[in-house]
Amino acid sequence: MKVLITRKVGMTSTIGDNGELLPVTLLSASPNTITQIKTLETDGHNALQLGFEKTKKLSKPLTGHLKKSGASSKIIREFPINELDPELKPGVEITADTFVVGDIVHVTGTSKGKGFAGTIKRHNFHRGPKTHGGQSYRRPGSIGSMYPQKIFKGKKMAGHMGHSQVTVRNLKVALVDTNDQVIGVIGAVPGPRKSIVIIKGAQ
């Protein structure tokens, strides 16, 4: 399974084979360290736990957890896997060259938070008429009928917008720089600069 924890650097552009200008998002892909391998027998499921970036200050529980791998990772994420590769062991590093140019990947990040937003901005509602005495310009309008005298969960209303996990599927890898540890994917990636982004090979 191809997967890496990265950090968003920013956007640039490149020229494709047909001369088309393509937007490219750059991801800083410093080596990920395998911190734990979970198996069906011991943990009830198969999973691969990766650590990203190093820190000097680790809590005592995290120090004990990372002792076997010898890592000092600040960010740890777990990924379910179908089959265990015998070559994967705690302490092994996964680098940017896991991906090659042309790979199709899914990218997951946390979108930018927009704060409290109304229904027009949040759900693309239409505004009310501004003529003929209309006074409901940006109000949500009717939100429920007489029965069952309640509002169902999931009703599109004003509220917190953004700052949620977003996955963009089927992006194409345009650049893999092993010297600078950078991966470039064609298209936009959710989240602000310096945010954590998970890049996973499409299966």
Model confidence pLDDT, tens digit, residues 46-98? 999 999 988 888 889 888 988 888 888 889 999 998 887 778 888 889 999 99
Which residues, 6 or more positions from 156, have their beta carbon under 8 angstroms from its beta carbon? Answer: 119, 122, 123, 125
Domains of the chain: 3-144+153-201 (2.40.30.10)
Tokens of 75: 């960010």
Q: What is the pLDDT of residue 131?
A: 93
Model confidence pLDDT, tens digit, residues 93-120? 999 999 999 999 999 999 999 999 999 9
φ and ψ at residue 62, rounded to 5 degrees: -70, -35
Which residues, 6 or more positions from 119, have their beta carbon under 8 angstroms from its beta carbon? Answer: 125, 138, 140, 156, 157, 158
**Number of C-beta neighbours around residue 26 at 10 A:** 22
pLDDT for residue 142 is more than 90: no
H or E stretch covering 170 = strand 165-177
